[in-house]
Amino acid sequence: MLTANDNRAAGSAADNRGADSVAALARESYRGIALYSTPRGRCSVDLSDNTNLWGAPPAALRTLAAVRDEDVTRYPVAYEPALAAALADYVGVSADMIACGCGSDDVLDSAIRAFAEPGEVVCLPEPSFSMIPVFARTNGLCPVAIPLTRSFDVDVDAMLETGARIIYLCSPNNPTGGALPRRTVEQIVENARGLVIIDQAYAEFGGDSFTDLASSGRPVLVTRTMSKAFGLAGLRVGFGIGSPELIAEVLKARGPYKVNALGERAAIAALDSDRAWVDERVDEVVANRSDFRAELAKRGFASLESSANFVLVPVDDCAATASRLERAGIRVRALPGLTGIGDAIRIAIGPWEMMQRCLDAMVASA
């Protein structure tokens, strides 16, 4: 007869066998992937996510306030033609050159899946957007990172020498903030063996637009987002720009119903009615970014030149610095051991009262 202890032991053994079998079944290429995590919990001034710290566009909020039952209970349109048309008008292309997604992450992931076979190389600069190696691995590809040059430009020759099926560029670059020179990007596009992705999530805040390269007929995809300048990060609306043939392949990989109905309606409202509001917020970011960097320098903190809505500040110990700032009510993003930089903190730019509080806290915690 089995005792209660015997039953518990048998159950524990079965649980362990189940865990072992799951580990054995899991894809080898996934084993080094950690879940993406960001700081959570309440903080009086959160400068960690590079979102619009002035809030969401008024027209988008009015649209969300008028949501009806059917907007929630029914599926959205499969491939968002109305949103694609509004975005096409915004960036100056035809609607068949737009692929929407659940954030620009979704478009990036879909493009990587659509244009490379398992085992092929995705080349990216380092440091840059941390999710690109993850998207590469989850799609069975090999990420190869090439360090930025001392001037924080991409190393054109080294990237091309990888023979990558996909080359990823980011301008302005996250987390360094720098915009890539046009000639650098053109050299990559002219000589790449496969698809070139140019991530322009922060395009509204500075640097060249590369939409013209996406319109050139070459295999170029420019990705953009409504999460940053447009303040709709919580609704997850992103898009890609490319030739109609390229966009069709991205949408095949993406699948239907990836943009929720509320996000689509809010994004269209903002694009139709609130571009001037967005432009005003962008102007404030640019002015505050310049003033903030100048004030940092006065206090002994060097920061990297930025064309984005954030600045990167090298520090001796980013974890300790971020912890001290958090205790003062200021949240920033700690970035340890960045290639060519070392430890740094990334600070989003918002209304000046937020930036002043951050400056005061940095001096007090130094």
The per-residue pLDDT for 285 is 98
In a domain, residue 135? The reply is: yes
260 and 310, same domain (yes or no):
no
Q: What average pLDDT does range 100-106 have in this prediction?
A: 97
Tell me what the mean pLDDT of segment 258-276 comes to. Answer: 97
Domain final position from 255, 273, 291: 273
Q: Rounded distance, CA 264 to CA 84, Å? A: 10
Considering the domain architecture, whether residues 173 and 189 belong to the same structural domain is answered as: yes
Instruction: Residue 57: name the closest of 224, 269, 239 by CA.
Output: 269
What is the mean pLDDT of the segment spanning 293-300?
Answer: 97
Mean pLDDT of the chain: 93
Q: Are 265 and 288 members of one domain? A: no
What per-residue confidence (pLDDT) applies to 233?
Answer: 97
Instruction: Give the range of the structural domain holding residue 192, as residue numbers without chain letter.
Output: 59-273
Q: Check whether residue 49 and residue 127 sit in a common domain.
A: no
- Same domain, yes or no, for 193 and 134? yes
User: Do residues 237 and 290 both lie within one domain?
Assistant: no
Q: Let me know: does 208 contact 342? Beta carbons within 8 Å.
A: no
CATH number, position 139? 3.40.640.10
Q: What is the mean pLDDT of residues 328-348?
A: 97
- Average the pLDDT over each of 21-25, 101-105, 217-221 and give the range with the smallest value: 21-25
The conformation of residue 175, written as its DSSP 8-state character, comes to T
**Statement: residue 18 has pLDDT above 70:** no
| Domain co-membership, 78 together with 174 | yes
pLDDT at 3: 57
Average pLDDT over residues 318-332: 96
| pLDDT score at 29 | 78
pLDDT at residue 14 is higher than 80: no
> Radius of gyration over alpha carbons of the chain, in Å?
22
pLDDT tens, position by position, 177-199? 999 999 999 999 999 999 999 99
pLDDT confidence of 13, banded at 50, 70, 90?
low
Per the structure, the count of domains in the chain is 2
Give the per-residue pLDDT at 71: 86
Judge if 198 and 298 occupy the same domain: no
* pLDDT more than 70, % of the chain: 93
- 249, 273, 297 — which closes off a domain? 273
Average confidence (pLDDT) over 42-70 = 94
40 assigned to some structural domain: no
pLDDT at 49 over 60: yes
pLDDT at residue 280, as a whole number = 98
Confidence class of residue 17 from pLDDT cuts 50, 70 and 90? low
Is 20 a member of any domain? no
Q: Are residues 257 and 281 in the same domain?
A: no
> Is there a domain that residue 303 lies in?
yes
pTM (whole model) above 0.85: yes
- For residue 2, the model assigns a pLDDT of 52
Same domain membership, residue 205 and residue 124 = yes
pLDDT of 19: 59
Which CATH number is 342's domain given? 3.90.1150.10
26 part of a folded domain:
no
Q: What is the DSSP letter of 30?
A: G
Assign 3-state DSSP to the chain and report helix, strand, coil percentages, each to 5. 45, 15, 35
User: Of 273, 302, 321, which residue constitutes the final position of a domain?
Assistant: 273
Q: Is residue 15 part of a domain?
A: no
Quick one: 213 and 358 in the same domain? Answer: no
Helix axes 103-115, 244-254, angle to 10 degrees: 100
Q: Number of C-alpha atoms within 13 angstroms, CB side, residue 60?
A: 25
- pLDDT confidence bin for 32, thresholds 50/70/90: confident
Within a domain: residue 85? yes
203-228: per-residue pLDDT in tens? Answer: 999 999 999 999 998 999 999 999 99
190 in any annotated domain: yes
Same domain? For 281 and 209 the reply is no
